[in-house]
Structure 1
């Protein structure tokens, strides 16, 4: 049984300048980032390199149409390294451009194209949530199919994951909140996955501890308390990425995808809407097992009884993002069956990692309870 795999070499730098000097950015590099990030942190170094500003190709969640448009614009550019600097959307899109053949994107995600990685890949997160810098997964919204889908292949692993806390200094509180909640759920879901090992649990539990204690500081001292904790949140996100990159996420992520794809709810926020409902169901169906250890650990951090952990987590997360009912996003009750069908037919990769089996009726009941 494989216990743990960490593919990228992981580097940490205090500043972007240190990274530039170490990796010697030049003409044979393709940087994919946002214009704001580039202007704020990199333009002053007058880099002689190729740069793509991802927001030119659309806002919101990354999509197949976005990737196709970038393909057209870079077809005449020769590059040997892809350097992605951004949040999960930027990193997920950029991973694909380390492959020899990317388009048609739908064929790529349907495994109809040969997976050949012919460029070096450097991933640098500017949020503290996805952990994408250490995973082999690219998640896109497939516009024509009205869903999100993940492509998970070894060719999407970065060669280098680079952590620079300086890049989080201008991250607005809303994006800090949604991204760090995503990391928290990565750590919690991976801890109860059937594929969890003692190694992945070590990363899962450490990430949970760091994030929840950070939230307690923010709850006590206000949103600006995050600034002294950015390095810890970035590290926790990385730990959570290592954990779920090995053990996988489950129903929380699977059930969040239809909400994100159809109503453009930020990924971390969509996960939060599903999280409590899924884990209460897990606990009801299988109270003895890995969830027992999880709840005991959470109770020790939250200073509450084990049967109160999900109430206390919701109270804490509500300081960052108020919990909503699905109807508040515009979801129609009749869509819940469509969401359920989408999860059961298109998210098998994730549903295979559930703590305990959730059938179609149970998934529908969870959606109904959150409606």
Structure 2
């Protein structure tokens, strides 16, 4: 069986690598980029980590900083108009997954027009308007290396997955030093998000030897360094390993697809505005428990890779030790349940059927080792609400 592998043309990885942004843009023949970022990056002055080396390289730029935590069609439309009217020959997505996803969506709409819903899975396009450079400032989404972007349709409250070649960044700069000041909650949520990417890619029905190699490396790195990065935020070695692990996890799932956790997570984000990594963390133990028997050997190997189990454990024991590790990690990293997050029970219950339908419509559930029926997804939402173990 052959596998088609996607990734950026250029990847610059390592501490301080953002200082070479001018070199990367020169290779892409970009002389006037539009930076897509979020308001905090501007107000905090963190954007200077990008704009200072741009200015030093003599590169003119402008900034679109109206992105929101869950990118919406409204913001994408505004950004697309800015891109079209400003005479820009490139884009830089700078920040977490939201700015990078927004930049990708803008690039697709600027090239092809229409509405963002026109390009959601299974539809897609191969070409974008301008070269795109993605620079992550969190160790989590992997968006810098994926073909995917997730955008919320404000008219339907649907969190749409767009997965196509036009969503692939042309280049990525992966500089762990950009994550050094990230707070505990963000480090935890993005770290669990990246682990979810790796684990789902590893058990996905679309997996392949390349995606396996990236998923295995990512799980080893993240399993060994996640809690250290959270509880020792100045630990450079842990931060570096988490950043590289997140990028490898992004390469893994972009070439194998995510599965049921992500399918169930997107509706939670759309309806309740729970950050993506956090909603993944809420779901991961329960969905893994549901899926365990359908890929026992894979989950067992994952348990061994992260050090929760060893070679002496049977597959059943190793898989169950992985599950215990997931529950314990949520406890250690203070991942709230939906009610603890402040979600109203009546609204959660009332939307479970809709969320299950949206999960199925995304297609991600079909990549899961155990493919759930609609009613089983509803039951999983019930379990996650009650934090049933």
Report the TM-score when normalising by structure 1. 0.88
| Correspondence 1:239-278 to 2 at 5 A | 239-278=248-287
Identify if the C-alpha distance between structure 1 residues 195 and 68 changes in structure 2 by more than 3 Å, giving closer, same or farther. Answer: same
Deviation at 1:248, TM superposition (A): 0.8
Whether contact under 8 Å (1:215, 1:316) holds in the other structure is: no
Q: Deviations over 1:20-47 (max 9, x none)?
A: 3553597422222232465441344535
Q: Deviations over 1:266-288 (max 9, x none)?
A: 1010001111111101125x264
Whether contact under 8 Å (1:196, 1:247) holds in the other structure is: yes
Identify if the C-alpha distance between structure 1 residues 342 and 7 changes in structure 2 by more than 3 Å, giving closer, same or farther. Answer: closer
Deviation at 1:316, TM superposition (A): 2.2
SS in 2 for 1:274: helix
SS in 1 for 2:287: helix
- Answering whether residue 4 of structure 2 is matched by residue 7 of structure 1, we say no
- Answering whether residue 35 of structure 2 is matched by residue 31 of structure 1, we say yes
Whether contact under 8 Å (2:31, 2:59) holds in the other structure is: yes
Deviation at 1:97, TM superposition (A): 3.2
Deviation at 1:301, TM superposition (A): 7.0
Identify if the C-alpha distance between structure 1 residues 85 and 41 changes in structure 2 by more than 3 Å, giving closer, same or farther. Answer: same
What is residue 167 of structure 2 aligned with on the other side? Answer: 156
CA distance in 2, matches of 1:183, 1:303: 28
CA distance in 1, matches of 2:78, 2:197: 30
What is residue 96 of structure 1 aligned with on the other side? Answer: 105
* Correspondence for 2:366 among 348, 352, 355: 352
What is residue 133 of structure 1 aligned with on the other side? Answer: 144
- Answering whether residue 226 of structure 2 is matched by residue 215 of structure 1, we say yes
What is residue 357 of structure 2 aligned with on the other side? Answer: 341
CA distance in 2, matches of 1:302, 1:85: 42
Deviation at 1:165, TM superposition (A): 1.8
Identify if the C-alpha distance between structure 1 residues 37 and 119 changes in structure 2 by more than 3 Å, giving closer, same or farther. Answer: farther
Deviation at 1:225, TM superposition (A): 5.2
Unaligned runs of 5+ in 2: none
- Answering whether residue 193 of structure 2 is matched by residue 178 of structure 1, we say no
* Correspondence for 1:206 among 206, 209, 217: 217
Q: Deviations over 1:184-224 (max 9, x none)?
A: 000011111111123211211211111111134357xx343
Deviation at 1:125, TM superposition (A): 0.9
Identify if the C-alpha distance between structure 1 residues 339 and 112 changes in structure 2 by more than 3 Å, giving closer, same or farther. Answer: closer
Q: Deviations over 1:63-90 (max 9, x none)?
A: 1111012223333211222121111111
CA distance in 1, matches of 2:21, 2:311: 37
SS in 2 for 1:2: coil
Deviation at 1:352, TM superposition (A): 2.1
Whether contact under 8 Å (1:30, 1:49) holds in the other structure is: no
CA distance in 2, matches of 1:232, 1:301: 22
| Correspondence 1:299-310 to 2 at 5 A | 299-300=308-309, 305-306=317-318, 307-310=320-323
- Answering whether residue 84 of structure 2 is matched by residue 83 of structure 1, we say no
Deviation at 1:182, TM superposition (A): 0.6
What is residue 70 of structure 1 aligned with on the other side? Answer: 79
Identify if the C-alpha distance between structure 1 residues 110 and 166 changes in structure 2 by more than 3 Å, giving closer, same or farther. Answer: closer
- Answering whether residue 214 of structure 2 is matched by residue 193 of structure 1, we say no
Whether contact under 8 Å (1:250, 1:352) holds in the other structure is: yes
* Correspondence for 2:50 among 30, 42, 54: 42
Q: Deviations over 1:159-202 (max 9, x none)?
A: 11211122212222221211111100000111111111232112
What is residue 283 of structure 1 aligned with on the other side? Answer: 292
Whether contact under 8 Å (2:121, 2:161) holds in the other structure is: no
